[in-house]
Structure 1
């Protein structure tokens, strides 16, 4: 059973979301709160598997709450909001959020994301991830420079990660580096093995933020 806390200042949202999520056999909403500070306090006092945080809330916003929850508890954070502002996305990910979804998703999509986050996997909606890539390409919030310890990787592995972070396919990366698709795939397997990550989206996040996640 995945124990969920919902933090949102809209009672209509929290009430409806709780009813929907509780209809899934492996999900239990154990509490709803109205702001980030209440979410932090609850996670510190009770075992919570995943907290769903809105971004804009009174007293404490979701970005600040994310940082405190990640630093002070074992709870995994998933941002569930209507806001896709670039600054919110980058700060939430840098503060340790493992998921970032918009509320307009179907319930099954949200539940699938919750299950993945509970398993310590990163889940980022395609539209959100596109914004992260755009930020890196324009240098608005996250730079093109790798935020990782370069000594852990060969120059070619860093080139591969840079290509992934730019949203390039294996074929596109291969053309850029003048190597085959299969060679790119082999490098990706090596990178996943070195970092303990599960898939290329996590590689991109790692390259952008320098964080693998707990």
Structure 2
């Protein structure tokens, strides 16, 4: 377990040395972040994750030997670290595959330095993160295709000729009225702070409701909660 006051340890994975150096320069100046190591391909990333046990892995997608998606799948399967997928390619398939592999976040490499730092902190804290440029489109496509990001074959949505009917997930029936309200607001894309303002609650209370509903719904993170809220017609 990482001590509460310990810095977030990050493993940088990219086949370009200059890219890794740039990320290291940005992150190393932060008092609460430590660059634990670097890898140039997915296979090396998995081995280093086993050895170093970082808190977060910044993972490129397209690399030799083993790509970032497969490396993410192995790291998450062994519970070695949380993974933040980084890519220059704003393509849906990368997002689908990354989420299906268990990534906690997806961020474009052209994001500014402040956004990168905050993304690392967000993922390290256990929250899901998607680049604003792709969030809405990914949610809409997942819902329209009936894609389930927790399914074994998730990330490879088959073409559909019509939108599947919205169905009531039996797990939703087990939520309290307040948890259901929170789920609806998560589905609209609101943060915990925004939900707190909307419902006139403390942010700590909202965090508790979010944790409870994710556990009851057996969802990994907020991204899956958003998809479920849309699929069930709550939003």
TM-score bracket, normalised by the shorter chain, equals 0.7 to 0.9
Deviation of the 1:194 alpha carbon: 2.7
Match of 1:88 in 2: 94
Alignment of 1:69-108 (within 5 A): 69-108=75-114
User: Would you say the 8 A contact 2:58–2:83 is kept in 1?
Assistant: yes
Aligned length: 191
Q: Secondary structure at 2:102's aligned position in 1? A: coil
Pair 1:136-2:142 in alignment: yes
* Whole-Å separation in 2 of the counterparts to 1:147 and 1:27: 43
Deviation of the 1:155 alpha carbon: 9.1
* Whole-Å separation in 1 of the counterparts to 2:110 and 2:137: 17
CA offset digits 1:70-122 (Å, max 9, x no partner): 01133110011112211110111121111111111111111111011111111
Structure 1 unmatched ranges of 5 or more: 170-180, 183-188, 210-214
* Whole-Å separation in 1 of the counterparts to 2:27 and 2:50: 23
User: Would you say the 8 A contact 1:6–1:31 is kept in 2?
Assistant: yes
* Whole-Å separation in 2 of the counterparts to 1:11 and 1:64: 21
Q: Secondary structure at 1:136's aligned position in 2? A: helix
* Whole-Å separation in 2 of the counterparts to 1:69 and 1:28: 19
Pair 1:193-2:209 in alignment: no
Q: Secondary structure at 2:54's aligned position in 1? A: coil
Q: Secondary structure at 1:80's aligned position in 2? A: strand
* Whole-Å separation in 2 of the counterparts to 1:61 and 1:146: 35
Structure 2 unmatched ranges of 5 or more: 1-6, 149-156, 158-163, 191-197, 200-207, 229-235
* Whole-Å separation in 1 of the counterparts to 2:165 and 2:107: 26
User: Would you say the 8 A contact 2:10–2:55 is kept in 1?
Assistant: yes
* Whole-Å separation in 2 of the counterparts to 1:73 and 1:155: 28
User: TM-score when scaled to structure 2?
Assistant: 0.67
Q: CA RMSD in A?
A: 3.6
User: Would you say the 8 A contact 2:83–2:103 is kept in 1?
Assistant: yes
* Whole-Å separation in 2 of the counterparts to 1:192 and 1:115: 18
